Amino acid sequence: MIALTLQGLGERKLRSVLTTIAVLLGVAMIAGTYVLTDQIRNGFQDLEDSVYRGVDVELSPKRAFSSQFSIARPLKVELLDEVRAVPGVAKAQGDLWSPGGLVIDGELKKASGGGGTIITTASGQPFSPATNVDGRMPEHSGEVALLRATAEKYDLSPGDPIAIATHRGIVPVTVVGAYDVGSADPGGTDIVSAQLDDVQAWFDREGEVTSINVAAAEGVTADQLVRRIQAIVPERVEVRTGAKAADETAADINDQIGGYLTPALLAFAGAALLVGAFIIFNTFTITVTERTREFAMLRTLGATRRQIMGAVAFEALVVGVAASAAGLGLGLLFAKGLGELFEAVGLGIPTAGAELAPRTIALSLLVGIGVTQLAAVVPARRATRVAPIAALQRGDEALPTSHRRWTPWVAGLVAALGVGMLVAGLFAGGPATSRLTTMAAGVVFLFVGMALSARWFVRPLAGAIGWPLERLFAEPGLLARENAMRNPARTATTAAALMVGLGLVVFVAVFANGIKASFDATVARVVKADLIVRSETLQPMPVAAAEAVADTPEVAATSSVLLDQVKVDGTKSSPITDVMNGVDPSTLESLYEVDWVNGDERVLNRLRGHDVLIEEQFSKAHDVGVGDSFRIETPTGRTARLRAIGVYNDPQMLQGMIVPQSLFDEVSAARDPWIIFAQTLAGTPGGVAKSGVEDALEPFPVASVETQADYAAAETEVLDQFVYLLYALLAMSIVISLFGIANSLFLSIHERTREFGLLRAVGATRAQVRQMVRYESVITAVIGGLLGTGVGLLFAFLVTESLGDLGLGFEPPPVQLAVFLVLAVAVGVIAAVAPARRSARLQVLEALQAE
């Protein structure tokens, strides 16, 4: 039986290969996800191990929690002397790092990594993590060394003059060398090292350091030293051994990345696997149908039902094992491509070399084999229902069909269950992870339900899509349409494979369009300022930039916004709602229109002390209204008790809270503005004012000046990049469905060989036969496209409804949707290339005599 199965697989090579590809790509995504996240984990561990290699004990500012918007309050340099006085300290040294900018040939270079551009101090021995690979490390003021990857990226070598964008403007420096830190790929983050005095001066950090590194004297352990130092430093200083610091820093970063990256990537892999499962199901169903007589013959020869079932299941096992093994290999490539994709959109992450961990191998095999087995169960069961008598009958009609009275009910039930779970996940309460899981399961159920019920849509849809084809291309069009309708269940499953990928693409597009529209609307509603100045990088702007803007002759008024993340009443901090915007209420009034939910203009005058305005989402998230008090804590660990005096709506620009700057300065370490609103003098032409501010900001290339329109366009561009990243990940699902359509066509052509022979005999040209196959493929693909559009719109509608109070509207972009349907047509045409060629190559006589 096993030999027979293997022989069968060998004879149906093309089909076996196409079926294998269907699973292979999904497995590759799973393997790739784990390979990449392992690379990231090892990369950070490697990086941190290198950074702390010579450090026995590290002192750093304690952070209550991590914030996306601020760095910790630095340590005073005086602490260094106190530490040096501790017995057992051989050597202690302060380090300082700050986000900054690299200016080459007068142009600010944006880093392609998520870390941006970092200016740090060149530590002396034994602390330095750097391995000097070219030139030397900086020894004098005005000298910098670059991370080797950074130097190579911009083609810089010792002696080259460059400049650093600092808080004090652009400072010219000279490159003196390049160095490595560990062996990991820094993933596009640019790193520049200079002397401590320089870094302090450049970033207004005189007398401050971000960490103190300590080397223990002979005979003193790091742990002993930690205890001794802890006894003399203030409580807000964290004292750890270097080893612990390395592990905790790496673990912290990995938690942040692993927390969202792994599940997000696995979700895309899941979509790809679902598509693969549809294809396996389809292929095995067709194969079993074709082999009815073979199974019946085996049954007459005494094979038991169990043996028949076993044969089909074994075939699926072989496919699963082959696909998983190949998928593992491809996963390495996939991880590499994914890493490059992240870097292309400016989110590069440090990585170590790729390796297949045992966990990756085990999971990939499990998933690949599991999915194939699961998808083959129904066809395998159907194979067992073949009666021995079928061996004596001609044709394929003898196979018991799965059309049962209850099938429509099951399909409807599964789809309804999917929608129900989706709605429950979106609107019900509960922790985010369980809601996301419910939603994901809902999506899968909805897709499966749609695939099951799609057979009832196939006839009307194929009729509608085929009608113009028949008008335009006469007989090939008619035959294509009729052939597409001929086995609705098969066409439905084939189309469903494309539906999944395209449905998710449509969802992303519609959802993103809703965000764009609401963003444009919000900006137009709340921003009164003519110009918006903000950082081009993921870091705030120097305070001096705000002064430069205010001093510009064309500018009448400015208002700066500082940002920090907070913890509210001890709950876990969200970077979206738990944000505090520090403003000067007197200057904000003329530049920002508060969109009041509860309150009016007069409330703004009372914005002082610990009285604050809260955004609608914040109000909902923490169940706080006007007059209510709540406690906040900033990353510095400082706390304050605040009272809400008004509620406003602004889901885009100033989320969370608007607080007076005096309060902000009291609790937060952040001093640099993220946004500067500017009003130009009445009568100044827009272009003149903008270039005036641009000139004033020349020393601060990190700050960019935008009109309202520029601002909205830039935000759209950022969103679009993210959307393209998602499209790239979803492309895999669409590619898999392309193979599925091709496979289905090959099988159909094989079944209908005689019909092709007849067509050629009565005068159909090869071109007409190709057309016929191509149109059938296009009809199937467009059915998938239409179903996908429908499901995608439904998802988007549900999700935007659930997020309605964020100002999100359900606004499908018609042009894009049309483009996706054209894409579906293209998928159909491409999938048909090889099958059409094969159908046209059939020899008339041989085809006519085929079984």
Partner 1 sequence: MAHISGAVAPSPDPSRAAATVVRGHEITKRFGEGAAAVDALRGVSVDFERGSFTAIMGPSGSGKSTLMHILAGLDTPTSGWVEIDGTRLDQLDDRKLTLHRRQRVGFIFQSYNLLPVLNAEQNILLPVRIGGNEPDREWLETLIATVGLADRRHHRPSELSGGQAQRVAVARALITRPAVVFADEPTGNLDSNASRDVLALLRRTADEFGQTIVMVTHDAAAAAIADSVLFLADGRIVDRHERPSQDQILDHLKELA
CA-based radius of gyration for the chain: 32
Residues that bind partner 1 (CB under 8 A): 474-475, 478-479, 482-483, 485-486, 754-755, 757-766, 768, 844-845, 848
E strands within 68-111? 75-76, 89-95, 97-99, 101-104, 107-109
- Measured from the CB atom, is 396 or 551 closer to partner 1? 396
**Contact present, 91 and 214 (Cβ < 8 Å):** yes
How many separate helices (H) and strands (E) can be counted in the chain?
Answer: 25, 26
Closest approach of partner 1 to the CB of residue 12, in Å: 24
- Measured from the CB atom, is 764 or 803 closer to partner 1? 764
- Which amino acid appears at position 522 of this protein? T
- Measured from the CB atom, is 676 or 764 closer to partner 1? 764
CA-CA-CA-CA torsion sign (458, 459, 461, 466): positive
**Contact present, 61 and 72 (Cβ < 8 Å):** yes
- Measured from the CB atom, is 474 or 819 closer to partner 1? 474
Q: Residue 147, Cα to own-chain centre: how many angstroms?
A: 27
Closest approach of partner 1 to the CB of residue 753, in Å: 11
**Contact present, 373 and 320 (Cβ < 8 Å):** yes
**Contact present, 451 and 414 (Cβ < 8 Å):** no
Which residues on neighbouring strands pair with residue 162, listed in sequence order? Answer: 173
Residue with tokens 């072989």: 318
Closest approach of partner 1 to the CB of residue 482, in Å: 4
Q: From residue 494, how far is each of 408, 585, 653, 765, 782 by CA, in Å?
A: 18, 60, 45, 27, 11
Closest approach of partner 1 to the CB of residue 782, in Å: 19
Which residues on neighbouring strands pair with residue 567, listed in sequence order? Answer: 633
Residue 371 token pair: 């999915």
Determine the 3-state secondary structure of 788 from DSSP: helix
Closest approach of partner 1 to the CB of residue 844, in Å: 5
Which residues on neighbouring strands pair with residue 704, listed in sequence order? Answer: 534
Q: From residue 201, how far is each of 118, 119, 623 by CA, in Å?
A: 15, 12, 45
Phi, then psi, of 788 in degrees rounded to 5? -60, -45
Closest approach of partner 1 to the CB of residue 783, in Å: 17
The count of residues in the chain is 851
249 closest CA partner among 473, 16, 45, 62: 45
Task: Give CA–CA dist 362/212, Å, rounded.
Answer: 43
124 closest CA partner among 134, 135, 137: 137
621 closest CA partner among 590, 644, 596: 644
Angle at 644 between CA 663 and CA 573, to 5 degrees: 70
- In three-state form (DSSP H/G/I as H, E/B as E, the rest C), the secondary structure along 164-228 is EEECCEEEEEEEEEEEEECCCECCCCEEEEECHHHHHHHCCCCCEECEEEEEECCCCCHHHHHHH
